Amino acid sequence: MFAREGRRARLAFQIALAVGALLVLGLLVDAALLIGNVRLGQAALDEAARAAAQAVERVEAGGTTTLELRLVDADGRPSAYTLAQATLDRAGAARVTLSEVFSDGGQVFVRGVVSSPVFLLRLAGLNELTLTLVASAELGGETLTRP
């Protein structure tokens, strides 16, 4: 009788161990997908920020020249948003959605949402994870900075 209970306990332990291993493996796959999509999304947004930084207008007022970000397409000159979106389209960044392009006067900031599919977390009713990323570049320059 004790041998039968011992076998059942071992079998239950082995099943629990196998289920636990599958859960850990599933979480590792989801984490790897998320990390990969975030890295690709950040690289795409970095390039979009560099492109958007080229949409500048030199404004002279009171003997001072300042750079202002062009926010509207005008006279055949694309806006910062248009340049950023075109860069994302060329990069094939299907999982990156551009949400905002703005400037603080010295830098242009590009904010986007990156989505990543999940496998194991679908069991919990979650089809994808989304993260908001930001990239920045100096207006009219080539230097890339991250906020």
pLDDT per position as a tens digit, 87-114: 998 888 888 999 999 988 788 999 999 9
Q: Which residue shows structure tokens 């039968």?
A: 4
**Does residue 16 have a pLDDT over 60?**
yes
Spatial distance between the Cα atoms of 57 and 132, rounded to a whole number of angstroms? 28
Decide if 131 contacts 43 (C-beta within 8 A). no
pTM: 0.77
DSSP 81: H
For 136, residues 6+ apart whose C-beta sits below 8 A from its C-beta are 49, 107, 108, 109, 110, 144, 145, 146, 147
Residue 145 has a pLDDT of 47
Residue 74 has a pLDDT of 81
Task: Pick the closest to residue 40 from 106, 119, 116, 103 (CA basis).
Answer: 116
Taking only the tens place, the pLDDT of each residue in 111-146 is: 999 999 988 888 888 888 999 999 999 887 554 444
Residue 1 has a pLDDT of 54
Task: Pick the closest to residue 111 from 94, 128, 90, 136 (CA basis).
Answer: 136
Taking only the tens place, the pLDDT of each residue in 30-75 is: 899 999 999 999 999 999 999 999 888 877 778 777 778 888 888 8
**Does residue 17 have a pLDDT over 90?**
yes
Read off the pLDDT band of 4 (50, 70, 90): confident
Residue 40 has a pLDDT of 92
